[in-house]
Amino acid sequence: MPRPSPTPSPAPSPAALSAHRSGPRSAPLVLSLGEPAGIGPDIALAAWARRAAVEVPPFLVAGDLDVLAARARQLGLAVPLVAAAPEEAAGRFGEALPVFPAGPSATATPGRPDASSAPCVLASLDAALGLVTSGRAAALVTNPLAKSVMYAAGFAFPGHTEYLAARAAAAGLPAPYPVMMIWSPLLAVVPATIHIPYRDVPRQLTYDLLVETGRIVARDMVRRFGIARPRLAFCGLNPHAGEDGTLGSEDENVVRPAVAALRREGIEATGPLPADTLFHPEARAGYDVAVGMYHDQVLIPAKTLAFHEGVNVTLGLPFIRTSPDHGTAFAIAGTGRADPSSLMAALRLARRLADAEDGLRRQDGPDQESRDQGRRAVPA
Ligand SMILES: NC(=O)C1=CN([C@@H]2O[C@H](COP(=O)(O)OP(=O)(O)OC[C@H]3O[C@@H](n4cnc5c(N)ncnc54)[C@H](O)[C@@H]3O)[C@@H](O)[C@H]2O)C=CC1
Ligand SMILES: NCC(=O)COP(=O)(O)O
């Protein structure tokens, strides 16, 4: 079988550009399908099935309806599906799971991923992105994709975080730098470096990266999360935050000056702090966001404390994007064992952030609204 090459769709859509006029408050959330051989379809169906019991905001899935229908049959879930435009989704959500048909079908069976799914994954993501940047959907929620599957098919980005920022920037939207945050009511963390090999961390951990990350986190915590003076705790890179420079130089030479620069800008930043003692309850009470130097330093405590409540939020994007904090969980795809709680938390947080953004836009007044209407949408 020829290897599919996932190609982002290039052409701008005039209809999408003008549709930004619709206000997010009236628009539903859009969920990408994610890796079809993983648990994305399972948790989308389960979230809809529990919509009344646990308050799930209306959403529609962008992607292949047949994948969802087949998974519902396999799981024995009576979830009616309806092809719908975003404008119809909220009205249909009570009776059926709305699906915005997009892209080719996938042939991979649950638990057995192969690169043939990549075009289906990417078409769903691009369609969802187009809906959110054109204002037809209020926020983007992404189901997990399998990075190795996408890489094998030629996908040139480490993950959603970097892909979405690149697409926004290519469309002329302001996307300075994408910042990954794993958020739960217990703990919010940001890895300053994201999906890179460990050996590259010290080299990529620069003063500029930390200052820019701190600025974006502080700004989004104020604007989107409503925390008036967010407290940012920066982990050290080395054991004991370098023990005054005796256990590595990065803490003194890179992290401390970056924290000082953020403080001069009025941002409440502290650090470098020893990471091993930053996550017990008393320590957590002292900050709003822990900024880690590498992925696992902060994702391990976040997922250990709140795996099923955790939400992956991308800060620094010109639109709202959330995601469950977990991956494709191939071993349990199609078995009925996938817990949809993290997806439901991602949907609820996306709704909350979109409503907050909408309120701010209204406060900013008609000038801001007309600037927003002039924004370029990322083509679906
Ligand atoms: N946002 C995204 O697109 C993400 C994608 N991934 C991708 O997922 C793939 C698998 O990654 P893993 O490291 O194995 O992590 P994983 O999160 O898929 O699985 C880790 C463990 O947690 C369990 N698990 C995960 N979600 C669950 C749920 N909703 N209910 C019950 N149990 C659940 C799995 O069965 C497994 O035992 C990789 O290809 C990775 O790239 C991982 C994280 C995020
Ligand atoms: N470990 C989190 C993760 O892999 C999520 O990546 P992304 O696809 O949201 O960029």
Residue in 100, 99, 95, 81 with CA at minimum distance from that of residue 52: 95
Rg of the chain over CA atoms, in angstroms? 21
Segment 335-353 shows an average pLDDT of 97
Any atom of ligand 1 within 6 Å of the Cβ of 219: no
Segment 253-261 shows an average pLDDT of 98
Task: Give the model confidence (pLDDT) of 260-291 as tens digits.
Answer: 999 999 999 999 999 999 999 999 999 999 99
pTM over 0.80: yes
pLDDT score recorded for residue 114 = 86
Q: Are residues 66 and 204 in the same domain?
A: no
Confidence of residue 52 (pLDDT cuts 50, 70, 90): confident
Segment 186-196 shows an average pLDDT of 96
Non-local (6+) Cβ contacts of 131 within 8 A are 30, 62, 86, 100, 137, 140, 380
Could you give the ipTM of this predicted complex? 0.97
Q: Which atom of ligand 2 is nearest to the CA of 158?
A: 10
Residue in 292, 297, 326, 321 with CA at minimum distance from that of residue 309: 326
257 occurs within a structural domain: yes
Question: How far is it, in rounded angstroms, from Cα 282 to Cα 272?
Answer: 18
Any atom of ligand 1 within 6 Å of the Cβ of 310: no
Question: How far is it, in rounded angstroms, from Cα 2 to Cα 270?
Answer: 52
What is the side-by-side strand order in the sheet with 97-101?
81-83, 97-101, 59-63, 29-32, 139-141, 321-324, 311-315, 179-183, 188-191, 289-292, 231-235, 268-273
List binding-site positions.
160-161, 195, 240, 295, 303, 312, 321
Of 3-12, 145-154, 214-223, 234-243, the range with the lowest mean pLDDT is: 3-12
331 occurs within a structural domain: no
> Per-residue pLDDT for 75 more than 80?
yes
Q: Which atom of ligand 1 is nearest to the CA of 332?
A: 35
Output the average pLDDT for the chain: 89
> Per-residue pLDDT for 29 more than 90?
yes
329 occurs within a structural domain: no
Q: What single-letter DSSP state applies at residue 112?
A: -
Residue 209: CATH number of its domain: 3.40.718.10
The per-residue DSSP string of 326-355 comes to S---GGGTTTT----HHHHHHHHHHHHHHH
> Per-residue pLDDT for 7 more than 50?
no
Segment 305-323 shows an average pLDDT of 96
> Per-residue pLDDT for 12 more than 70?
no
Q: Are residues 8 and 128 in the same domain?
A: yes
Q: Are residues 181 and 215 in the same domain?
A: yes
CA of 332 to the centre of ligand 1 (A): 10
Task: Give the model confidence (pLDDT) of 119-161 as tens digits.
Answer: 999 999 999 999 999 999 999 999 999 999 999 888 999 999 9
CA of 325 to the centre of ligand 1 (A): 8
Q: Are 279 and 305 in contact (CB under 8 A)?
A: yes
Residue numbers of the domain that contains 95: 1-174+340-380
Q: What single-letter DSSP state applies at residue 251?
A: I
Residue 144, judged by CB atoms within 10 A of its CB (0-12, 13-18, 19+), counts as buried
Q: Are residues 53 and 141 in the same domain?
A: yes
Q: Are residues 183 and 118 in the same domain?
A: no
Q: Are residues 37 and 169 in the same domain?
A: yes
Any atom of ligand 2 within 6 Å of the Cβ of 160: yes
* Residue with CA closest to ligand 2 atom 5: 159
> Per-residue pLDDT for 369 more than 60?
no
Query: How many domains, in total, are found in the chain?
Result: 2
User: Where a domain ends, among 301, 316, 331?
Assistant: 316
334 occurs within a structural domain: no
Confidence of residue 302 (pLDDT cuts 50, 70, 90): very high
Q: Are residues 24 and 170 in the same domain?
A: yes
Q: Are residues 151 and 184 in the same domain?
A: no
* Residue with CA closest to ligand 1 atom 24: 329
pLDDT score recorded for residue 112 = 92
Q: Are residues 167 and 208 in the same domain?
A: no
Any atom of ligand 2 within 6 Å of the Cβ of 143: no
